Amino acid sequence: MAAKTTTERFRRRFAKLHIDPLEHRNAPTPAISVGSNINASFQTGNQNETAIAVNPTNTNNWIAVSNDDTLANANGGHFLSYTPNAGASWNKYYIGSSSTPTLPDSAGDPTIAFDRFGNAYAGYLSNAGGLNAIAVVASGNGGASFSNNSPVVTAGSYDQPKIATGVDFTNAARDTVWVTYQDNSGTISAAGASSTALGSWNAFNTPAAIVNTSNMNYGDIAVGQTGQVLRSEEHTSELQSPYVISY
């Protein structure tokens, strides 16, 4: 093989990188199929203000909750239905009613969430003890039954509780459970609790008002991957309500 000249070696060493365009290509679109609607209540009458959660430790386990106007006009409570088999069958009962006498009675506005350990938390308005309250009850068996936790707040006029769970930013081995709601003064308040394992959860701490949320309501809450807590709401006293995010 002939020896390379100095000029050839220089050109090879400092040659520029070239990019040649190919023909237009699209990434494949994954197939997404939407199944038929599932009747989770098998109830006559009106169910409204619904919520649903999926168990992260068993994704075939779902819990759905809603107000039930017929039940509200009878003996109180709200509707709950859970499935252990991805909707193939449903088990329903009424939470916070005469059929669950160990739980605070329910005045509606249900909300539901699972933590990473598989504990489910159901929040709702309650008239427990003759006082308005935000009640949160917990389940360690996929929604088959719930145990009473201390009411988050009592003695006031409250509205629209929302629950979310996520990692505890002070201790990654724990999850936190947050409930927010419109409090007695028309401001959004929040309270938190923690969980460490399936069937293990603590009582909620003293609620605290979120600053600059006067006349806010009808929002939602989320917990980030590093424990950030965000709450969104609308301003209820303005004709064109701005959407506000607090964190």
pLDDT at 59 over 60: yes
Count other C-beta atoms under 10 Å from residue 208's C-beta.
Answer: 10
Where does the pLDDT of residue 182 fall: very low under 50, low under 70, confident under 90, or very high at 90 and above?
A: confident
pLDDT at 35 over 60: yes
Strand partners, 181: 189
Strand partners for 229: 223
Does 177 score more than 90 pLDDT? yes
The pTM is what?
A: 0.80
Q: How many residues does the chain have?
A: 247
Of 196 and 27, the structure prediction assigns the larger pLDDT to: 196
Higher pLDDT, 40 or 84: 84
**Residue 191 near residue 178, CB atoms below 8 Å:** yes
Sign of the dihedral defined by the CA atoms of residues 184, 185, 187, 193, in that order: negative
Share of the chain above pLDDT 70, in %: 77
> Do strands 208-209 and 188-197 pair parallel, antiparallel, or not at all (unpaired)?
antiparallel
Q: Identify the pLDDT of residue 2.
A: 57
- Cβ–Cβ < 8 Å for 81, 98: no
The pLDDT value given to residue 156: 66
pLDDT over 90 (residue 164)? yes
Question: Which of the residue ranges 15-19, 76-80, 111-115, 138-142 would you say has the lowest mean pLDDT?
Answer: 15-19
Alpha-carbon distance of 177 to 54, in angstroms, equals: 15
For 111, list phi and psi in degrees, rounded to 5.
-145, 150
Tokens of 61: 């386990």
Beta bridge pairs of residue 233: 244
* Confidence (pLDDT) at 89: 92
Residue 224 makes CB contacts below 8 A (sequence gap 6+) with 166, 230
Min mean pLDDT across 49-53, 133-137, 150-154 is at 150-154
| Residue percentage of the chain with pLDDT more than 90 | 32
In sequence order, the 6+-apart residues with CB closer than 8 A to the CB of 124 are 65, 78, 95, 96, 106, 107, 108, 109, 110, 111, 134, 135, 161
Residue 170, CA atoms < 13 Å, CB-side half-sphere: 6
With 80 as the cut, is the pLDDT of residue 25 above it? no
pLDDT of residue 244 exceeding 80: no
More confident residue, 26 or 34: 34
